[in-house]
């Protein structure tokens, strides 16, 4: 029986456990023997690779995070440790690897494949949704719903006290979470790394809206800008509204995976195993325009992700330059 393994690398996301469950069940359907790599790339190096069965995935579909743990491995960046990882896989007879991770993880696997010729298929898994070639990454829907709930709750207080709230969401280099959250929560302001902003222009709009009756503000800011406190002070000084900052932080990573998340995990994992069984060696499963497709790792890593123009257009009023 051919053997196949799965690992999680980088930040955890809700959706990993549903993907892990599907991995075990679909592997057996395809006549494969499934293995877990515990602890990401470090697990490959330390040989924490164990055979998996149905009992290992019972009752995990509703849980956030990942049962098999994740890590950001610094050792895997060194060739000598990648060689150890490959040796451990070959010793166990594992020649196929499913990797749930983000951009850094995929760059690591690209190098690993070139050096060691270990076949792999990546599943984009990052709440930042910043992987080139795919419009959706595992974990995004759950993260957006966590932000939605928090923002709705904060709006209750903002409207009661006539305050401005600055809500900082994750997104080091990508403003996807901030933009979609701002649009779907009815925020008055959104600041993201991709678009320069002009506070003077925004000030004119806000002062006009205050005259017309607006009595509270919600601003959603991507963490990569590192300016949440500055914006809160700006609200007080320039707009005349008492303000508060709420940093949502790591609550965005966790939580019960949404229905959409579970279905996407099911589909991503199915396509990943099918790709490996069909002989593809260095691919990533991507989701675009309502369809899944397998793309080579080179297509994914050679270009930086950009938020789609349609989404930027929808948020034009909130992204005043």
Q: Which residues are catalytic?
A: 128
Q: How far is CA 2 from the centre of its chain?
A: 31
Rounded distance, CA 303 to CA 105, Å?
15
Rounded distance, CA 29 to CA 296, Å?
25
Long-range CB contacts (within 8 A, 24+) of 30-34: 30/273, 30/277, 31/1, 31/2, 32/1, 32/2, 32/3, 32/4, 32/96, 32/273, 32/277, 33/1, 33/2, 33/3, 33/4, 34/3, 34/4, 34/5, 34/6
With contact defined as beta carbons under 8 Å apart, do 116 and 86 qualify?
Answer: yes
Q: At what angle do helices 16-29 and 259-277 cross, to 10 degrees?
A: 40
With contact defined as beta carbons under 8 Å apart, do 161 and 242 qualify?
Answer: yes
With contact defined as beta carbons under 8 Å apart, do 71 and 40 qualify?
Answer: yes
- Residue 96: HSE in the Cβ half-sphere, 13 Å Cα cutoff: 21
For 161-306, strand residue ranges (E) read 164-169, 189-191, 217-222, 243-247, 282-288, 291-296
- For residue 124, the surrounding DSSP H or E stretch is strand 119-124
Report residue 209 as tokens: 């809206």
Supply φ then ψ for residue 166, to 5 degrees: -105, 115
- Measured from the Cβ of residue 188, the count of other Cβ atoms closer than 10 Å reads 18
Query: Would you give the DSSP letter of residue 250?
Result: G
């Amino acid at each position: 029986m051919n053997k196949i393994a799965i690992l999680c690398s980088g930040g955890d996301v809700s959706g990993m456990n549903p993907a892990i469950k599907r991995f075990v069940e679909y592997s057996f359907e395809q006549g494969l023997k499934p293995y877990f790599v515990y602890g990401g790339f470090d697990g490959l190096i330390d040989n924490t690779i164990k055979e998996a069965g149905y009992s290992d995935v019972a009752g995990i579909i509703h849980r956030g995070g990942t049962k098999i743990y994740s890590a950001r491995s610094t050792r895997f960046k060194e060739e000598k440790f990648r060689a150890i990882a490959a040796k451990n896989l070959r010793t166990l007879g594992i020649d196929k690897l499913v990797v749930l991770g983000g951009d850094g993880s995929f760059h690591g696997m690209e190098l690993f494949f070139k050096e060691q010729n270990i076949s792999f298929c990546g599943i984009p898994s990052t709440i930042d949704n910043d992987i080139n070639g795919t419009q959706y990454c595992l974990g995004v829907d759950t993260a957006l719903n966590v932000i939605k709930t928090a923002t709705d709750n904060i709006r209750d207080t903002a409207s009661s006290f006539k305050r401005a709230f600055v809500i900082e969401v994750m997104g080091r280099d990508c403003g996807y979470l901030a933009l979609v959250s701002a649009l779907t929560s009815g925020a008055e302001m959104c600041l993201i790394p991709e678009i320069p902003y002009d506070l003077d222009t925004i000030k004119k709009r806000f002062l006009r809206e205050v005259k017309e009756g607006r009595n509270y503000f919600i601003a959603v800011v991507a963490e990569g800008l590192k300016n949440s406190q500055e914006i809160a002070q700006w609200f007080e000084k320039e707009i005349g509204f008492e303000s508060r900052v709420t940093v949502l932080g790591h609550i965005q990573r966790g939580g019960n995976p949404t229905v959409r998340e579970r279905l996407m995990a099911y589909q991503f994992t199915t396509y990943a195993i099918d790709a490996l069984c069909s002989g593809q060696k260095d691919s990533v499963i991507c989701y675009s325009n309502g369809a899944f497709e397998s793309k080579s790792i080179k297509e994914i890593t050679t270009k930086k992700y950009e938020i789609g123009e349609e989404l930027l257009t929808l948020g034009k009023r909130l992204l005043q330059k």
